[in-house]
Amino acid sequence: MRGMRILAIGVALAALCGPAVAQERPLRDAVAQDYRDNLAGLFDYFHRNPELSGREVQTAARMARELRALGYEVTTGVGGTGVVALLRNGAGPTVMLRADMDGLPLEERSGVANPSRVRQADAAGAEQPVMHACGHDVHITALIGTARQMIARRAGWSGTLILIAQPAEETISGARAMLQDGLYTRFPKPDYALAFHVAAALPAGRIQVPAAIVSSSADSVTIRVNGVGTHGASPHLGVDPVVVAAQIIVSLQTMVGRDIHPLQGAVISVGMVHGGVKSNIIPEHVDLALTVRADIPEVRLQLLNGIDRVARGTALALGVPEDRLPVVTRSPTETTPATINHGPTALRVRGAIAAAMGEARLIEDAREGMGAEDFAYYVTPESGVRGVYFSVGGTPPDRVGRAAGHHSPLFRIEPEPSVTAGVEAMTVAALALMPRS
């Protein structure tokens, strides 16, 4: 009977002290349980219902609702559809955790059981298929999971936590829009900023924390190549902008290969060529759209200035009249500097993840290309904010070599190991930066 009374008292105390007991639960177990109870369904919703850049109305509403339910102070409509959530927990540093939430204009052919069938009008009014082809559904799901774990562990940290759901990362304009709308003036300015990206090229659940450069700068550039239109059977009566455009494209690659130091990262890719209406009409112009990538500011400027020089020089060499030379336009919005981690903070985060999750979960740095990220705007040297951006693997190890890349209609991520690793790593990192003194 005495044992029965002790058991009953224990059960009663556990019921009264539920939050304290939850705080003592090992993080990995707590995250796994949360995935089963909440996050799996939330990921399914986000994956089935992606929205285009700057048009993430329902996604933002769901993020705001989830965060308010957890007890965060939530503001919506920041920088368009951006969401900002605050949790004040005494004196200490301010740490910002960011997740991007937009999808891409692609029709999903990934073969998953819960594909997107959404169609949405883009900014120009054209209806597009929409797909989470870059893993942003993982990021926002993990942000909610991290929010829940930080609430449960608030007795173990001190400071101010800021969570942001950012719009329009795919057009590398959302971070700048949120900052211009007062992210660092209307809300507490962070001492640290953290974010992660799920990576199809890495084994699911593995973590990569670069010590320095994470991603390249990016600039979108358009070139209108003018010519003199004429009949296709009489090319000598005009100046063919198709030929001029083709020569510009080739010359741009020669510039990258011969003007830029071979050990410095540089890419110019022409992603769109559009001109003409009929096979036997030489058109008056051809439009090119380019993406320009670099790792250091000097190379970035060299590439951008080189595009102007090559476009003008090629056109002159091929007989384009001086009053019809190419018009080169650099996008004022689709532009971002390189994302570079704050070295000491990256080492601190890496050490905390190794200690909490195991050294075997970490994977050495190995950049797969020159991707870009507008997270860079939050952590510019001028801002003084110390940033760490890391990667979380998203593909089963036996499929890594065959995985479709990001921005592909075949892109797919294994959600459970990706989301749970993201939640665990983000929580560990935030706790390491906000210790209770």
The three-class DSSP label of residue 379 is helix
Burial of 26 (0-12, 13-18, 19+ CB in 10 A): exposed
- Report CA 138 to chain centroid distance, whole Å: 11
What is the per-residue pLDDT for 11?
36
Residue 86 in contact with residue 152, Cβ under 8 Å?
no
Residue 239 confidence (pLDDT) above 80: yes
What is the per-residue pLDDT for 243?
98
Q: Which domains does the chain have, with CATH numbers?
A: 25-215+338-433 (3.40.630.10), 217-336 (3.30.70.360)
What is the per-residue pLDDT for 364?
87
Phi-psi region of 356 (alpha: psi -120 to 50; beta: other; left: phi over 0): alpha
What gap in Å lies between CA 23 and CA 208, rounded to an integer?
27
What is the per-residue pLDDT for 419?
98
Structure tokens at 403: 């995985």
Please report which confidence band the pLDDT of residue 5 belongs to, taking 50, 70 and 90 as the band edges: very low
Structure tokens at 177: 């829009």
Residue 287 confidence (pLDDT) above 50: yes
Please report which confidence band the pLDDT of residue 4 belongs to, taking 50, 70 and 90 as the band edges: very low
Residue 15 confidence (pLDDT) above 70: no
Residue 55 DSSP one-character state: -
The three-class DSSP label of residue 34 is helix
Nearest of 99, 68, 81 to residue 163 by alpha carbon: 99
Structure tokens at 329: 């336009």
Predicted model pTM: 0.89
Residue 326 confidence (pLDDT) above 60: yes
Report the side by side order of strands in the sheet with 285-294: 266-275, 285-294, 217-226, 327-336
What is the per-residue pLDDT for 13?
34
Place of tokens 């690659």: 253
What is the per-residue pLDDT for 18?
36
From 51, 66, 108, 169, active-site residue: 169
Number of H helices, E strands in the chain: 11, 17
What is the per-residue pLDDT for 171?
93
Burial of 37 (0-12, 13-18, 19+ CB in 10 A): exposed
* Max Cα–Cα distance, the chain, nearest Å: 107
Cβ-proximal residues to 342 (8 Å cutoff; 6+ apart), any chain: 379, 386, 387, 388
Residue 193 in contact with residue 387, Cβ under 8 Å?
yes
Residue 30 confidence (pLDDT) above 50: yes
What gap in Å lies between CA 189 and CA 94, rounded to an integer?
7
Nearest of 285, 280, 284 to residue 231 by alpha carbon: 280
Residue 49 confidence (pLDDT) above 60: yes
Please report which confidence band the pLDDT of residue 369 belongs to, taking 50, 70 and 90 as the band edges: confident
Structure tokens at 126: 């054209």
Residue 7 confidence (pLDDT) above 90: no
Q: SS3 string of 398-423?
A: HHHHHCCCCCCCCCCCCHHHHHHHHH
Kindly state the percentage of the chain with pLDDT values over 70. 95
Q: Is residue 169 annotated as part of the catalytic site, yes or no?
A: yes
Q: DSSP assignment of 150-186, as one string? A: HHHTGGGB-EEEEEEEE--TTTT-HHHHHHHTTTTTT
Nearest of 223, 151, 201 to residue 431 by alpha carbon: 151
Residue 177 in contact with residue 80, Cβ under 8 Å?
yes
Residue 288 in contact with residue 270, Cβ under 8 Å?
yes
What gap in Å lies between CA 401 and CA 109, rounded to an integer?
19
- For residues 383-404, average pLDDT: 96
CB atoms within 10 A of CB 187: 20
What gap in Å lies between CA 115 and CA 122, rounded to an integer?
20
pLDDT, averaged across the chain = 93
- For residues 59-63, average pLDDT: 98
pLDDT digits (tens, 9 = 90+) for 194-230: 999 999 999 999 999 999 999 999 999 999 999 999 9
From 102, 108, 137, 374, active-site residue: 102
User: What are residue 331's phi and psi, to 5 degrees?
Assistant: -65, 130
What gap in Å lies between CA 419 and CA 205, rounded to an integer?
8
Q: Is residue 102 annotated as part of the catalytic site, yes or no?
A: yes
Residue 83 confidence (pLDDT) above 60: yes
- For residues 316-338, average pLDDT: 96
Cβ-proximal residues to 355 (8 Å cutoff; 6+ apart), any chain: none
pLDDT digits (tens, 9 = 90+) for 109-133: 999 999 999 999 999 999 999 999 9
pLDDT digits (tens, 9 = 90+) for 152-204: 999 999 999 999 999 999 999 999 999 999 999 999 999 999 999 999 999 99
Residue 368 confidence (pLDDT) above 90: no
Residue 117 in contact with residue 221, Cβ under 8 Å?
no
Residues β-bridged to residue 196: 390
What is the per-residue pLDDT for 17?
37
Kindly state the percentage of the chain with pLDDT values over 90. 91
Residue 295 DSSP one-character state: S
What gap in Å lies between CA 286 and CA 241, rounded to an integer?
6
pLDDT digits (tens, 9 = 90+) for 85-96: 999 999 999 999
Please report which confidence band the pLDDT of residue 434 belongs to, taking 50, 70 and 90 as the band edges: very high
- For residues 321-326, average pLDDT: 97
CB atoms within 10 A of CB 191: 18
Residue 284 confidence (pLDDT) above 80: yes
What is the per-residue pLDDT for 1?
40
